[in-house]
Amino acid sequence: MFIRSSARSNIGGDVIQYRKTAEGLRSLGCDISLFFADEQVSYWNYDVLHFFNLIRPSDILRHLKRTGRPAVVSSIFVEYRPEDFGTGIQSRIFRAIGAHNMEYIKTLTRFVLKRDALVSPDFLWLGQKRSIHRVLSRVRAVLPNSLSEGARLTAAFPKITRPIRPVVNGVDVDRFLSAEPDDFYRDYVMCVGRIEPLKNQLGFVRALTDLGLPAVVVGNPSGIGTYYDMCRREAGSNITFVPFLEQQSIARMLKAAKVHVLPSYFETTGLVSLEAGLCGCNIVVTSTGDQVEYFSSIAEFCDPDDVESIVLAVSRSFNAPRNRFGQSEIIRQRYSWNVAAQQTLAVYREVVDES
């Protein structure tokens, strides 16, 4: 299994998916080796190569070029729109250069600033879109986290005919169900995630300041701190800001909180929403990305551009009993890492048999 080289210092949902999928497969008897994308690998020691995060094709191309071993990719496919970044500078840049050029520039910037390795030099002349296309043409199967993600990927790259095999995003059931509540956050409203315009913490801050309910924003700023500073300036005295925490601490907070809100402009799944629901929090999400497929019957939905919509969704959730939709049991049954591992193993067997 391969994860982007920057995962050594920048842990996101793709890294959690990579690690937990490996743990689940090992419990099923698979022999799994984990690599950062810039490491050297003896490919022929393995039956299958598994890559994560199609939006980082520069971390994948070199490996596919060097080996003919069967490969699959967990796509985690994000196709942003200008409105997904609100109305700030990121949105204006996005409108001017487009999604693929923006990702291309971000990759080169990380390399120039020595924040990341340029694993595949071919990426320089192929660019972002053609690099993704080449990855998709060389893997044996694509593993999105939902049917809707698979449909978005097919629409964006219609010439690709590789099998689409959805694998659910998972939650660490044992860790979150066994956590003891942190009573300091009893009946709080929480928002957990990297602090950036895409996650729309500013909308959360404005809504919760209006409501006056006890609230906490958990996460570190992404990049420059101007957006974070804006959130702090507009936050009422009822809102606390807490830096990034490890999962065990998050689990204890979620076991005590009343509501978790993720008012993002885009989410493939919203892993933290699954974790919150498993802990019994009432959850508020948006209908962007692929969230409807996961949360249609177990969450309140809001419009990320409408503070009043967030206020109403949070009010309904806060005034209802915890676990109002029975979401904890539904998530435990459908979205565990064990389920994800079983689905992944079925794909491995398929591509090995074809080889």
Domain locations in the chain?
Answer: 2-170+337-354, 173-334
292: nearest Cα among 273, 309, 311 = 273
Q: Which residues pair with 164 in a beta bridge?
A: 142
Give the pLDDT of the chain (355 residues) as one tens digit per residue: 999 988 887 777 789 899 999 999 999 999 999 999 999 999 999 999 999 999 899 989 999 988 889 999 999 988 765 555 555 565 566 555 556 666 766 766 766 666 667 767 887 777 888 899 999 999 999 999 999 999 999 999 998 889 999 999 999 999 999 999 999 999 999 999 989 888 999 999 999 999 999 999 999 997 666 899 999 999 999 999 999 898 899 999 999 999 999 999 988 888 899 999 999 999 999 998 899 999 999 999 999 999 999 999 999 999 999 999 999 999 999 999 999 999 999 999 999 998 7
- Measured torsion, CA atoms of residues 30, 34, 37, 39, in degrees rounded to the nearest 10: -120
CB under 8 A, 24+ apart: contacts of 199-203: 199/262, 199/263, 199/264, 199/265, 200/86, 200/263, 200/264, 200/265, 200/304, 201/227, 201/231, 201/263, 202/86, 202/227, 202/230, 202/231, 202/234, 203/263, 203/304, 203/305, 203/307, 203/310
Rounded Cα gap, residues 28 and 340, in angstroms: 11
On the CB side of 321, CA atoms within 13 Å amount to 6
Domain 2-170+337-354 and domain 173-334 have a common topology: yes
User: In which residue are the tokens 């039956």 written?
Assistant: 47
Which amino acid type is present at position 177? L
3-class DSSP state of 340: helix
Rounded Cα gap, residues 154 and 119, in angstroms: 26
Into which CATH architecture does domain 2-170+337-354 fall? Answer: 3-Layer(aba) Sandwich (3.40)
CATH for 173-334 is 3.40.50.2000
3-class DSSP state of 306: coil
